[in-house]
Structure 1
Amino acid sequence: MPTRQARDSRRPLAHPADAYETVHQHLRWLVPERFNIAQVCCRRWAERADTSNSIAIIDHSTLGHGQKYTYSALQAAADRVSHALVRAGVRRGDRVAIVMPQRFETAVAYLSVLQLGAVAVPLSMLFGPEALQFRLQHSDAVLALCDAAALGALQAAREQTPNLRRVVAVGAEPGTPGVDARLEDWLARPAAPFPLADTAADDPAVLIYTSGTTGDPKGALIPHRALIGNLTGFVCSQNWFGFDGVHNAASDAVFWSPADWAWTGGLMDALLPTLYFGRPIVACRERFSPELAFDLLQTHGVTHSFLFPTALKAMMKAVPEPRARFRLRLQALMSAGEAVGEAVYAWCRDALGVAPNEMFGQTEINYIVGNCQALWPAKPGSMGRPYPGHRVAVIDEAGVECPLGVIGEVAVHRRDRHGDPDPVFFLGYWKNEAATRAKFTGDPSDSWCRTGDLALRDADGYLWYQGRADDMFKSAGYRIGPGEIENCLLRHPAVANAAVVPKPDPERGALVKAYVVLTPEFRARRDQFTPGSAAFDAQLCRELQAHVRGRLAPYEYPKEIEFIDQLPMTTTGKVQRRVLRLQEEARARAAAESAARAPR
């Protein structure tokens, strides 16, 4: 694969506080043979006298400043629901769908399913009937725990999913059609402590479906041990979260993230690891907005958070100087999903008072690369270094590690640097052995697992994201990565968000095209522009092109810019460049067909 010239910021570091190698050398995985996520995330805290009354969930969606639930209350609720699930016919290994937003009952649902040895199938509240039907049918889910707001789509999907025997809803009125039981009734029924299932660390715990941006979603089967594999990345990305004091109410760490608990980012990067360390997490089912985010941070004294770059961009544009308006207690901030970019990084560092720790991972192998401001220096714009316990490399098509500065595919080895099995790996794709085999370079027990993401490694071991393999394209012989151009555009005050894709061109192969979402201020200017919006667009287009041309390589500036109201996004907050790329290809075909039909 082609090389890329290193930047000045990628030169070797000399930093006295760099503890990276020390942490890596001393970390050894300790994975017990028998292990259950529900036991370590709740039951152990509920059974200890000094932690049973510690706060587990702060439900912001209730009256006042949020209803607080202790670990003992969370465990008691999970026990009642587990007993009810067994009465409803759920058995060990069965798949149970959870279609719920951030709320106390959602945490109860996960713990109740996991402690009886069943498999949780998280499904987003944003899914329509077809998306739900595919996942419910493919997973063979036998029961669904849902929020009343999801009943419409769920009932439509249920007609085509005969294996789904029961629907249990929270927030539904008694007698609601299609509701077989109310979760409130299950929670109101007294129950004895539920006997914890004796699960192996390798037993399946969660079946999470990938976003499906390049085809049908694949179900990644996650074992209980994967939580252990996630912990080093969580601790580091949150600046040593969990080791800031004793595990009781005296510890003032509070976590919040808008990441949906139906996705890896919300479940494995927020809810479960926070509970693992016996700390409180804020649940909020309201739609994200910058104002809501700052209100939550202030009201609940949030100290640690995970915010997508899309959310950070919106917060930066809406409230440039947040500490002038809000009392913030942030100690750590993780971001993932897209590159943060230098502009957002600087704003977090200067305006929020916390430089973000960028993280990279996938549903199948989560929390594998990132930064930790507390233990090693970050390089703004870099994905970071491999987190402790993970052996990560940049490899070529043949599975051979690439030299420094050469773009290749990010991959994770089944074994860490000590030769021990890495517990972070998924078990495989549900009902898709071919896709599982294709994910690895060879023998799954001792091989590299490919991510499909491109990066280069510098002399200090930092990775620099270059985009998805299918996002890269060539223009006039030059290899183009969209991320750097998008980040450059974002530094212009007119740009709220941007996506760069190839536009087919007969001479160059492809032109660099940018789709740009304007900030509210510039949208207002555009609407009020006297000569008309077309003239405003042409003028701003030239300005943005000059802005990029003066900062990047001449071949990287966008030859065409299209202004749109919003970018197509996945439900996890990632820009769907593929949608825009296919749109450009369709337009090119239509233009060619029109030209062929034109009289000559």
Structure 2
Amino acid sequence: MKHGQNKVIKRASQAALPANGIARVDHYHALHQGFGWQVDEFFNIAQACCGRWAKAETQHSPAIRTYQTGATTLVHSYAQLQQAADLLSYQLKALGVTRGDRVAIVMPQRFETAVAFMAVLQMGAIAMPLSMLFGPEALAFRLQDSGAVLAVADESAIESLLAVRGECPQLLHIVAVGAACGRGDSDFVAGVGKPRAFKLAQTRADEAAILIYTSGTTGQPKGALIPHRALIGNLSGFVCSQNWFGFDGQDNAHSDAVFWSPADWAWTGGLMDALLPTLYFGRPIVAFNGRFSPKLAFELMVSEGVTHSFLFPTALKAMMKAYPAPRKDFALGLQGLMSAGEAVGDAVFDYCRDQLGVVVNEMFGQTEINYVVGNCDRFWPARPGSMGKGYPGHLVAVIDEDGLECAVGVPGDVAVRRHDIHGDLDPIFFLGYWNNPAATEAKFANASGEKSESGWCRTGDLARRDADGYLWYEGRADDVFKAAGYRIGPGEIENCLVKHAAVANAAVVPKPDSERGALVKAYVVLSPQHAAARAQLVGDTVSFDTALTQQLQSHVKAMLAPYEYPKEIEFLDALPMTTTGKVQRRVLRLQEEARFAARMARASI
């Protein structure tokens, strides 16, 4: 199937789409067996996501809708997006940017961010998205490691960039955007300048397009080099997880699909799971640069007519606690909802189905091999708490240390095969880690001795497979621990805690213990109502905490195995999170280890 005209998914949709568009039986097998990759030798993300839509018949279709609280939404068409990208491409070329150069894009969700991606990619340069939340140290590391020659930034990041510029000798130029204009080396203002079509670079599908640094939850961030073809590899998962995204099996020219996600476009979740696939299908995506809140999320979705979304479990938990029955206050029109980053759990699953009016399709992927496992409630039953099955086009298994598939119910490493079920190369794979061949080799290592080119790529995430092929998340390999001889996966306990009315979010880690090796400890963020009640005690919270701890322990004991209840609970105002919305259990685990070392040192005196 060619990437153009949505043919990537046409064969599967025509084979399995019921007449009424609603799945009454499980179509997974037909979709998986009938799907096949066909990737052109030459492919460019910018052309597929913008250039082809900026034509006479679709040029006025909305591409970016910028939502502003208390103000009118700004709408930019595909023609405007392409014209602005052409203008910026000429500017970058004049500044010396050439094919293969890394260009940092340090901006939040806004029109110019989409412009910058299209401009860099159509030149054949490599776009390197960086979060506006990064401090100077984080920025400096990535700029130095990548050898970025230029950065495009707005007022959210200009100060941090200027602060580290002296440490990054290869960073020769900063292009300022928005309120940052006048503070960089030159300014970019979309719409200012004579429109001139920029000649598209004829990039190969295997050519590097994007350099995204991993979130660094388990160590120093690594730069994952993503090829243009990886976007094609994402499409089957995107379409499935969004319940076909308004696609009717022929074309989606008349689709009413409108996408929004609070996921930062600087990360895989926001870029590859939201911005780029939405633009690939010629549909509008809502941009919002502001602090997330449940109220804001509901108001935005109603105001902009959002039909499809990607919401982190953390966001859904907050929405669930703030608005237990949201449809009493908000006229929602969701047709598809995906969630990823952490395990969803059945409490959130039930909330989405019963209160948001849509079954949440949990998805699993990572920067290096994104959108490989998940659910599609429209075509196969989503099971509460399950991360789903391998999406069409991806051969996924749970394997042991020797590279052999684990038996049903036995935890192992989630891995993706280099080739699909038809023996064709899967386009989803990253090219490797930037300047880190050892880490790249380790990623594709196979203890069975099979060549890495045809073997498994391990994700480092643990799961177990049930008899029907559904995968059940066990946690990161370094998040799972043993306590009193029992193997503990934090996700199940965290999900159980969140079901309690007092808990907004939770993280479970091992607390070192000299006798039993480790104890189960939970860090808990209280729901707004319970947090307010605790705050009214003005520092005298001991009895409150003791009573609530006992309640939560009894709650877990009643629902899970006796050895899984948290022996200790600590209440926090907020959990440490990555900018991608993942709980940093590693931070809490290291904190517990440091506390244990301090206790042992005092005891030895």
SS at match of 1:169: strand
Given residue 260 of structure 2, which amino acid in structure 1 is its aligned partner?
Answer: W
1:106 to 103, 113, 132: 113
CA distance in 2, matches of 1:261, 1:392: 27
1:222 to 207, 216, 226: 226
2:176–2:182: 8 Å Cα contact kept in structure 1?
no
CA distance in 2, matches of 1:210, 1:531: 39
Q: Is 1:236 matched up with 2:243?
A: no
With over 3 angstroms needed to count, the CA separation of the structure-2 counterparts of 1:173 and 1:596, relative to structure 1, is closer
2:338–2:362: 8 Å Cα contact kept in structure 1?
yes
Matches of residues 423-438 of structure 1 in structure 2 within 5 Å?
423-438=427-442
1:172–1:182: 8 Å Cα contact kept in structure 2?
no
With over 3 angstroms needed to count, the CA separation of the structure-2 counterparts of 1:373 and 1:175, relative to structure 1, is closer
Q: Is 1:347 matched up with 2:351?
A: yes
Report the CA distance between 1:61 and its aligned residue: 3.5
Q: Which residue of 1 aligns with 2:505?
A: 497
Report the CA distance between 1:530 and its aligned residue: 9.3
Report the CA distance between 1:244 and its aligned residue: 4.1
Q: Which residue of 2 aligns with 1:35?
A: 43
CA-to-aligned-CA distance 1:438-460 (integer Å, 9 cap, x gap): 00134331010000000000011
Given residue 568 of structure 2, which amino acid in structure 1 is its aligned partner?
Answer: E
Report the CA distance between 1:351 and its aligned residue: 0.6
Given residue 540 of structure 1, which amino acid in structure 2 is its aligned partner?
Answer: L
CA distance in 2, matches of 1:531, 1:132: 39
CA-to-aligned-CA distance 1:327-384 (integer Å, 9 cap, x gap): 1110010000001111111111111001100000000000000000100001100000
CA-to-aligned-CA distance 1:144-178 (integer Å, 9 cap, x gap): 001122111111111100100100011236543xx
CA distance in 1, matches of 2:538, 2:202: 72
Q: Where in structure 1 are there 5+ consecutive unaligned residues?
A: 1-14
SS at match of 2:201: coil
1:454–1:469: 8 Å Cα contact kept in structure 2?
yes
Report the CA distance between 1:515 and its aligned residue: 0.5
Report the CA distance between 1:242 and its aligned residue: 4.9
With over 3 angstroms needed to count, the CA separation of the structure-2 counterparts of 1:417 and 1:247, relative to structure 1, is closer
1:333–1:354: 8 Å Cα contact kept in structure 2?
yes
CA distance in 1, matches of 2:154, 2:360: 33
Given residue 78 of structure 1, which amino acid in structure 2 is its aligned partner?
Answer: A
Report the CA distance between 1:212 and its aligned residue: 0.9
The farther-off stretch of 523-532 and 125-134 is 523-532
Q: TM-score, normalised by structure 1?
A: 0.95
The farther-off stretch of 441-450 and 133-142 is 441-450
Q: Is 1:172 matched up with 2:179?
A: yes
2:91 to 71, 77, 84: 84
SS at match of 1:188: coil
2:493–2:556: 8 Å Cα contact kept in structure 1?
yes
With over 3 angstroms needed to count, the CA separation of the structure-2 counterparts of 1:242 and 1:193, relative to structure 1, is farther
CA-to-aligned-CA distance 1:533-565 (integer Å, 9 cap, x gap): 100100110110000001100000001111111
The farther-off stretch of 342-351 and 164-173 is 164-173
Matches of residues 153-172 of structure 1 in structure 2 within 5 Å?
153-172=160-179
CA distance in 2, matches of 1:561, 1:286: 32
The farther-off stretch of 314-323 and 424-433 is 314-323
Percent identity reads 68
Q: Is 1:123 matched up with 2:130?
A: yes
CA distance in 1, matches of 2:252, 2:487: 53
Matches of residues 15-30 of structure 1 in structure 2 within 5 Å?
17-30=25-38
CA distance in 1, matches of 2:335, 2:497: 29
CA distance in 2, matches of 1:335, 1:531: 37
SS at match of 2:478: coil
Q: TM-score, normalised by structure 2?
A: 0.94
1:399–1:441: 8 Å Cα contact kept in structure 2?
no
1:50–1:248: 8 Å Cα contact kept in structure 2?
no
With over 3 angstroms needed to count, the CA separation of the structure-2 counterparts of 1:174 and 1:154, relative to structure 1, is closer
Report the CA distance between 1:216 and its aligned residue: 1.3
SS at match of 1:159: helix
1:55–1:249: 8 Å Cα contact kept in structure 2?
no
Report the CA distance between 1:480 and its aligned residue: 0.5
CA distance in 1, matches of 2:68, 2:91: 25
Report the CA distance between 1:481 and its aligned residue: 0.4
SS at match of 2:179: coil
Q: Which residue of 1 aligns with 2:216?
A: 212
CA distance in 1, matches of 2:213, 2:54: 31
Q: Which residue of 1 aligns with 2:4?
A: none
CA distance in 2, matches of 1:512, 1:582: 14
With over 3 angstroms needed to count, the CA separation of the structure-2 counterparts of 1:592 and 1:174, relative to structure 1, is closer
CA distance in 1, matches of 2:298, 2:524: 26
2:153–2:180: 8 Å Cα contact kept in structure 1?
no
Q: Where in structure 2 are there 5+ consecutive unaligned residues?
A: 1-22
